[in-house]
Amino acid sequence: MGYPIILHGFYILSGLTFPIEKKDRDANGFPLGLITQWKTGNRVGQGTVLLKLMHKLLLKGPNNDSSKGHSDIAISFSLNVNKTQSIN
């Protein structure tokens, strides 16, 4: 008998701090993390982001962090946030 595998995406920032909102949900209504909105506000600077796609057998809780489960993908990349200007 197979067990359901629950996948979730996590984004771990280093050097910069701003909210990353998960915009999608899994079949259980928990935040999934494949579609996100990054709200940098007035923050500018450089840092890194670690993207992790995690799976956990059976049920993953809505508040489980990136240490719960097993990493299928872990990609780190540089992040540059620049100040934007409005064009009227």
Q: HEC string of the chain?
A: CCCCEEEEEEEEEECCCCCEEECCECCCCCECCCCEEECCCCCCEEEEEEEEEEEEECCCCCCCCCCCCEEEEEEEEEEEECCCCCCC
Domain contains 10: yes
Q: What is residue 41's predicted lDDT score, i.e. its pLDDT?
A: 83
Domain contains 61: yes
Model confidence pLDDT, tens digit, residues 54-86: 777 666 666 666 567 777 888 898 989 887 655
Residue 35 has pLDDT above 90, yes or no: no
Q: What is residue 36's predicted lDDT score, i.e. its pLDDT?
A: 87
Q: Residues 22, 54: contact at Cβ < 8 Å?
A: no
Percent pLDDT > 70 in the chain is: 73
Provide the domain count of the chain.
1
Find the mean pLDDT for residues 19-39: 84
CA 23, chain centre distance (Å):
10
Q: What is residue 3's predicted lDDT score, i.e. its pLDDT?
A: 47
Domain contains 20: yes
Domain contains 88: no
pTM: 0.66
Q: How is residue 25 written in tokens?
A: 């949900």
Whole domain around residue 46: which residue ranges? 5-81
